[in-house]
Structure 1
């Protein structure tokens, strides 16, 4: 027996249960970001104004470079160090954020590529959890595509689902080309994180809080990404149809 999802094809009840679980993960992803904004006493759109122009001007190129280095480091480390539990990834990133924020902008900038590596490694671990090989080119692209979501401080719920809908245009992209596509979105998210870490007095606390939020967020979005991919493979349903069902569930 099937149950209709408004605006989509008929979706079996078993699929609806999976979609509902992914929707809960999606809602959980953004919740921590609000706590961070309350901590720093500002709005996400105002954070980037705190950064010097020299930093803002090279943020996108720095982020793209960090992604290039992180992809190699994260993939290489999987051969030596097993994938960790989500809570351990979050704890590690939180500690790094505190250290990065303690020294202001210089240490926060130095910490950025390390944090991106931890995030990417966590995303790869989740891909493996769903039975995918993170070393396969198509799964590498899927892992990078998670960074095209909006980020934990974004207020537009539609924006953090946009990366799922753009899969059709990204499947043929090389890894380098995909980095060029996702770097602008990730640069905005990382810029907000850097700005929060430079707030006087709150530097270390804001650094820990933002890294906690970012790690929690991207891990949850990775579950959404690979959960949909796995569900599509198991049911034979086009992923675009499942994304539409997820959007209806969230909306």
Structure 2
């Protein structure tokens, strides 16, 4: 990976203080799951059971297709459309979530790639804010890997940071393989999101709320991902070592 930008723009970080900051950011992201469960008013595990059988069976394929289209669209939009602030991105996804949920499951399925594109574009913007070029294959792969954190409805603490320990050696030719690995992880929370949106009209409110929370979650996780990458580059230290120290702070 190329060096970070001018140190006047990206001044040196204090290792321990930065890890403390990133630990707080990860806790904030994890707390989003509790917010979402209170919003949908049910247990996460039971949400997917509300979806029709064919939808459940095709969820992983739909997620992979959404990631494929979103990956290309988000990258193509850079340079044409200016990056937006975190709060504006959340506001936009609130709108798409409400529109998607208004018509029940069919419109929620149609909304899925749109919201995924907006979130992926926001992740790319956060990479750029940390001094990494989203056009580079390894950075694009890191943006995609943020989705491997699976989302706020995933309560598997052992996997919360698994995406951070992956080596950043993926090139453009391997992106499709990475999507196939990320899609099963992302399919679970997206299925829960779809179920929350499945009731017409009522689903509009659920869609707006879940999109806001999902967007907030992935923005926080992206901040941790690229914060660790920046610190690793500055310190000349393997990202796995920093991830280990970060996990100890989360115990």
| TM-score, normalised by the number of residues in structure 1 | 0.91
Equivalent position of 1:119 in the other structure:
119
Number of residues of Structure 1 aligned to a counterpart in Structure 2: 237
- Give 1:9's aligned residue: none
Runs of 4+ residues over 6 Å off in structure 1? none
1: distance between equivalents of 2:160 and 2:139?
Answer: 19
Match of 1:215 in 2: 215
The residue aligned with 2:243 is 243
CA contact (8 A) 2:101 2:201 kept: no
Contact 1:70 1:120 in 2 (8 A): yes
Q: Which residue of 1 aligns with 2:142?
A: 142
Matched, 1:61 2:61: yes
List gaps (5 residues or longer) in structure 1: 1-12
1:92 alignment partner in structure 2: 92
- Residues 71 and 224 of structure 1: CA distance in aligned 2, closer, same or farther (over 3 Å): same
Q: Decide whether the 8 Å contact of 2:101 with 2:200 is kept in 1.
A: no
Q: What is the match of residue 40 of structure 1?
A: 40
Name the Cα RMSD after superposition: 1.4
1:20 matched residue in structure 2:
20
**DSSP-derived class of the 1:132 partner:** coil
CA distance in 2, matches of 1:221, 1:172: 20
Distance 2:81 2:201 in 1: 36
| 8 Å CA contact retained: 1:101, 1:207 | yes
Deviations 1:99-155 (A, max 9, x none): 111111000000000010001000000000001110100001100000111211122
* Alignment-derived partner of residue 226 in structure 1: 226
**How is 1:134-213 mapped onto 2 (pairs within 5 angstroms)?**
134-165=134-165, 167-168=166-167, 171-172=169-170, 174-199=174-199, 202-213=202-213
Q: Does the residue aligned with 2:133 lie in a helix, a strand or coil? A: coil
How far residue 172 of structure 1 moved from its aligned partner, in angstroms, is 3.7
TM-score by length of 2: 0.91
